[in-house]
Amino acid sequence: MLRFPLRHGLFSKRDDFKICIANSLLVVGCTLVASIAVYSLVRPQIESALSRSIEITLKNKVHFFENQIEAGWAETSALATHPLLVEVLQQLNAEPDSDHAMRGLKQKMDSLHLAGITAATVFNINGNEVMQKGYLSQNQTKKFPMHAHHDLFLAWDDNELILHVKKDVLDQYELPIGSITTEKRLPQLTSYLREINEIGKSAELKLCETLEVAGQEMVCLVSNADFIKFERMPRDIKETKSLMSYALDGKSGMVTTNGYRQAPVVASFTPVSSLGMTMVLDKEEFCSAMSEQEKIIAVFLFVLIITGLLLLFWLVLPLMRKLARSEKKAQERLKECQCLHGIRRDMDRNLQEEEFYQKVIVRLIKAMQFPEITSVMIKLGDKQFVSDRYNKNLMHRLQAQILVNGDAYGWLYVIYSEERPFWLPEEQDLIDTIASDLGRWIEQKQTKQRITQMATHDGLTGLPNRYLLHDRIKQVLAHDRRTHEQAAVLFVDLDRFKSINDSQGHAIGDLLLQEVAARLTAIIRSADTVARHGGDEFIILLQNIRDSQEVKVVAQKILNELAQPFYIHGKELHIGGSIGIALFPHDGDDVETLLRNSDMAMYHAKKSGRNSYWFSSPEMNPK
């Protein structure tokens, strides 16, 4: 009776101990099984996220490289098309010793540092150096020839990347009148190369280009934690195609392979314009972060069996969230780079204004963090380009001013229909960059328009010059041949203009010509053309006329209008006009014949007493 309770108590303790052991083993087993299962599910996702992070990092570097190179190319192209440089080179080609032209060129060269250009040399049409600013790199052996642009290459000099660009300078007729060579140091790209050790101690970045002469040999810039060096190396090794060879062929991807040290590595490769770029990281270091976490997880699993599973999730989930946030942020930056690259590519295409700005709006909306609630408006003076969901009354707004030649030209607005936790600094930077790009694009467009205006219009009156006139006559004749319609060329010569110009001065004569141009333009239809042929001679092209009687009416209106007094600077001036008329197809079937016959008819009108009009005819009889 007395031993039973003791044995019973001892048995109970032993059974409790066994149960505790069994339960502990069960918990340990379940925890280990759950941990292994969770680890098996999580590890591929972690590796995949790390791989994508490395691939996105390389793509960001590629986009940054391409943007820097395209920006340098665009700056030199804008400089080569600048009207001041074109005008100065034309003067120097005509007068090599012109001090005025040299001063203008020096002023332009002194302002190059504002665009980040460190050295530049201007050559005339004969290839002779006209002026040099700064010193161009003399190390021509360490360079990357950009096969996509034969007049552009990257050079490595004094431990820094340099962009070397040569661009022809063309006049308004697209004929070369000289050239300019520029160099721009690229400290940000150099920093990208030096920051490779931030990815890992074993990380190595290569930037290579195939040599045109060697073919199977390439020139490379190699950057790792120990050094940055410039060297030549074979494109393929032992007839095995290298990763760089794939990049140079325009392919991109990410692989796990054995490196040159016969150790497993994780490698990413992608093209950069005509170059190739690879980034290699030892797989051991690539997986080191996970290895450390595995040790921590294992220790906590054995020390804290009951809380092991929770502790595992506590360690892994923050890492996964951090990687997810990092990946999402990298994807947003990649979207922004793609947006900028697409907009700058559209700038080089000959798009209509409405189409171009709508493409800018579409690309910008796609690059936003929440495109489904984003709307955009581009305001340029009295013009507005808006997206479909635009509502000016919404308050969640980002904006950037568009500056053209330093002056306010318009605004870029991005508006959200809901309040969300936006990454405002990054999105504001993107909007500011696009606004800056739009300003530079508008400047270049305006410069081209001014050059076209100078080439095709008279500088004094603003009327089409003889070159544009010839082109319009050709177009009208081609149209009238198809439709069997008539056209007329009126050759107008001012009477008594020379005496006024000589007695009153050229300034009064110029104002008088401008008034004559205004009166002639007001007389004719908008479809017709008034052009200044030279001096006091004007050509009027009438298209789609019914008969000669209609031309007589117009000619008489011109004579009546020219007979009215002109009041210039308080002076009353009187002139007249003599008009020669040639009809298509009766008096000629081409531009030269019509102009010649109308000129001869004008001569007879002037000879017959002036202030009259004559039709061209074989006998030159007045009508």
> 41 pLDDT exceeds 70?
no
**603 pLDDT above the threshold of 50:** yes
What pLDDT band is residue 593 in, cutting at 50, 70 and 90?
Answer: very high
Are the CB atoms for 374 and 415 separated by under 8 Å? yes
Name, in order, each residue with C-beta under 8 angstroms of 443's C-beta and a sequence gap of 6 or more.
78, 404, 405
Running DSSP on this structure, what letter comes out for residue 195?
G
Could you give the count of Cα atoms lying within 13 Å of 35 in the half-sphere of its Cβ?
Answer: 26
Better-predicted residue by pLDDT, 405 or 239:
405
Could you tell me the CA-to-CA distances from 26 to 16, 239, 297, 300 in Å, in that order?
A: 15, 57, 19, 17
Average pLDDT over residues 185-199: 76
Confidence of residue 522 (pLDDT cuts 50, 70, 90): very high
CA dist., res. 564 & res. 579, Å (int) = 16
pLDDT over 80 at 415, yes or no:
yes
pLDDT at position 5 over 60: no
- Over residues 138-161, mean pLDDT: 70
Range among 173-182, 227-236, 259-268 rated most confident:
173-182
pLDDT of the residue at 395: 64
Q: What dihedral do alpha carbons 480, 482, 484, 489 form, nearest 10°?
A: 20
What are the tens digits of pLDDT across the range 334-351?
888 888 899 889 888 888
Looking at the predicted structure, is the pLDDT value of residue 196 above 60? yes
| pLDDT band, residue 474 (cuts 50/70/90) | very high
For residues 555-564, give the mean pLDDT: 95
pLDDT score of 153 more than 80:
no
493-519 pLDDT per residue, tens: 999 999 999 999 999 999 999 999 999
Quote the mean pLDDT of the chain: 80
Looking at the DSSP bridge assignments, the partners of residue 251 are none
- Determine the Cα angle at 395 with ends 390 and 399, to 5°: 70
Q: Where residue 213 falls among pLDDT bands split at 50, 70, 90?
A: low
| Interatomic CA distance for residues 477 and 32, integer angstroms | 92
**Containing H/E element for 189?**
helix 187-194
Sign of the torsion angle spanned by Cα atoms 567, 568, 569, 571: negative
Q: Measure the CA–CA gap between 477 and 484, rounded to whole angstroms.
A: 10
Residues 58-100 have pLDDT tens digits of 677 777 777 777 777 787 777 778 788 888 888 888 888 888 8
Share of the chain above pLDDT 70, in %: 79
pLDDT surpassing 60 at residue 7: no
Higher pLDDT, 517 or 290: 517
How far from each other are the two terminal CA atoms of the chain, in whole angstroms?
Answer: 156
Reference 280, options 55, 538, 39, 514; nearest CA is 55
**Burial classification of residue 330, based on how many CB atoms lie within 10 Å of its CB (0-12 exposed, 13-18 middle, 19 or more buried):** middle
- Report the Cα 620 to chain-centroid distance in Å: 59
Calculate Rg over the CA atoms of the chain: 39
DSSP output for 105-150: HHHHHHTGGGGT--EEEEE-TTS-EEEEES------SSEEE-TTST
